[in-house]
Amino acid sequence: MPLLIKLLRFFNSHCREIYFINCSLICHLSFTQKKYHLHHRTHASWWSVTLKTLTQTDTQLFHWLFGLTAKRDCRWIIWMSRTGDGHLYLLLGLLLWLFEAEHGALFLYSALLAYSLELPVYLILKKFLRRQRPCDLLQNFSAHITPSDKFSLPSGHTAAAFLMASLIASFYPSMLILVYCWASIIGLSRVLLGVHYPSDIIAGAALGLSMSYFSLSLL
C-alpha cells in the first residue's frame, strides 16, 4: 500500500511535465510532417515545371530544325540516314576482319559484343518510355519518311551510329573526327526527316557511347 501511495504521488508530481513533453512531441511531429509535405510539393512542382520547360524547348527546336527541310528535296538527307541502318556496320566489320590483321578481328568481336548489349537496352527503353514520334503526335504534320516502329525515345539510328563511331575511334584514333561527324549527321538527319525529337538524339548518343565503353571494358 505505501508503495502504491508513493507511485501515485510521483505520478501526480510529474504528470504536468509528462503532459508538456507529450505536447511538445506532438507539435514537433506535426511541424515535421507539414515541413515534409511542403518540401515534397515544392520538389514535385519544381520537377513538373522543369520537365514542361524542357519538353517545350525540345518541341520548339524540333519545329525549327524540321522547318529547314519542309517542302524541299530531302533525298540526300534520306541517303545519309540510311547509312545508319546497320548494313554498313556489318560490311565494315567483315572487311576489317578479313583484311586488317592488326585490329580487325578484335574490332569485329567488340562490335558484336557492343551491339548485343545495346539492342536489349534500346528495346526495353522504347517499350518502357513509349514516347510517340512527332509525326504521330503533332497535328497537321507529316514526316519525310515512314519510321520502322511506333516509339521515338531513344533514337536507334543515333545509338548505333555513336556506338560504331566510338569503336572506330578507339581502334583507329586518326578517324575520330570523321566518324563522330558522321554519327552526328545521322542523328541530325533523323530530326530533319521528322521522325525524332532532338532529345531522342541526345539519349541515343548517350546509349551508344555508354554501351561502347562498357563493351570495351569487358575485353
> What sign has the CA pseudo-torsion 195, 197, 198, 204?
negative
From 63, 103, 144, 157, active-site residue: 157
- Residue 87 known to be catalytic: no
- Residue 39 known to be catalytic: no
Q: Which residues of 85-104 are buried (b: 16+ CB within 10 A; e: fewer)?
A: eeeebeebbeebbeeeeeeb
Evaluate whether 139 touches 201 at the Cβ level (below 8 Å): no
From 14, 28, 39, 196, active-site residue: 196
User: Distance between CA atoms of 43 and 139, rounded to whole angstroms?
Assistant: 32
Residue at grid coordinates 534500346: 122
List the catalytic residues. Answer: 157, 196
